[in-house]
Amino acid sequence: MVTTIRRQRVVGMAEDIVSWSQTILAAALLIATIMYAWHTATMARVAKQQMEWSRKPIIAVSPDLVGPATVFLRIQNVGAGVARAAKVKISSKPEGLALSWAHPSLLPLQGFTLFLPEKTSDLRTFAAFEKIVAEISFSDIEGTPYNYTDTLELKDFRESMDTAPTVWEKSDEARQESQVKALESIATALKDIRSAMKR
């Protein structure tokens, strides 16, 4: 009888251990499933963002310097998608520059150069502005509208003009000279080929 009671206690304890271990395993499985679902949702969200960025148009405005003292504004789609019905309204602070530009469709990496009014196209006059503000609006290929403001702060640029003068025309001249030399080399090679073919 004592043996039967002990046996029942041992069996009862074993059943309790099995029951507790099953509960612990079920809880661990539930936690693992929740973590797996959370990570999967995060990965899906990141993949969606990457897909959106891979086809999103982004219009940027930047100064384009020609020679030592002439400034143009460059408008370019630096994104990977087509920008439809692009509009850019440019103003300055303090006032003095006001332009509006529109284009029906900007392809990826397509850009345009805006000629500034003569009174603001001089580098010193342009750099005197505190900031250039571009209000940009367009829609992507699916019709999703985008509206944002791109601000060019010119203070650091203006200050660097006096402390670190940059000569754009010389670097451009060197590039042009190397291109001319390459073209002359190609022309010479073509003449040699043509004269060899006539023989």
Is the pLDDT assigned to residue 123 strictly greater than 90?
Answer: no
> Per-residue pLDDT for 171 more than 60?
no
- 187 assigned to some structural domain: no
Which domain covers residue 37, as residue numbers? Answer: 1-48
Mean pLDDT of 27-55: 87
Q: Are 128 and 165 found together in one domain?
A: yes
3-state secondary structure 138-154: EECCCCCEEEEEEEEEC
Q: Return the DSSP state at 54.
A: H
Q: How many domains does the chain have?
A: 2
**DSSP secondary structure code for residue 116 in this structure:** P
22 with 72, same domain: the answer is no
Calculate mean pLDDT across residues 35-42: 90
Q: Do 40 and 115 fall within a single domain? A: no
Verdict on whether the full-model pTM lies above 0.75 = no
Residue 186 lies in a domain: no
